[in-house]
Structure 1
Amino acid sequence: MYATSNPDLVNELRYALDVMEEYSHLGLDNEAAGKLRGILVRRINEAESALSCRPAAPVRFPVEDTKVLA
């Protein structure tokens, strides 16, 4: 979904999960709360993975000299 390496995103998602669990699912029934919790946990894992990945080093590709025929 979102491929981002924003460190604040992980904290915001964890905060949302903590609030939901602390305040008795915010009025959601158990099924809806379970689905929302699963989504939040998955997004937290994805965001943490994005943060832990190092960007690839740039690679130079050989370029052939081509002659332009007019």
Structure 2
Amino acid sequence: MYATTNPDLVNELRYALDVMEENSHLGLDNEAAGRLRGILVRRIIEAEAAVSCHPAAPVRFPMENAKVSA
């Protein structure tokens, strides 16, 4: 998974997928092209999800009284 939430990443991945599909799989056989297409589609979905995520609001948890030993 990509650590960055770069919005341009989705467009770059879509462009790579379009180039591969428009240029007869870039010389790859059907099996390799299918695997590469699957990887690109999965990465596009992951990148879209990362860009659309909003950070969760912080939540306070009650602290239990803990004995402090010296």
How far the C-alpha of 1:3 sits from its partner, in A, is: 3.6
The answer to which of 29-38 and 49-58 deviates more is 49-58
Alignment of 1:21-36 (within 5 A): 21-36=21-36
The count of residues paired between Structure 1 and Structure 2 equals: 70
Gaps of 5+ in 2: none
Gaps of 5+ in 1: none
Alignment of 1:27-46 (within 5 A): 27-46=27-46
Deviation sequence 1:44-68 (CA, Å, 0-9, x none): 001111111111123345568x8x7
Please, what TM-score do these two structures have when normalized by structure 2? 0.80
| Percent pairwise identity | 85
The answer to which of 55-64 and 44-53 deviates more is 55-64
Runs of 4+ that moved beyond 2 A: 58-64
- After superposition, the CA RMSD in angstroms is 1.8
Partner Cα distance (2:39, 2:51) in 1: 18
Letter in 2 for 1:17: L
Match of 1:4, SS state, is coil
Counterpart of 2:4 in structure 1 is 4
How far the C-alpha of 1:2 sits from its partner, in A, is: 1.7
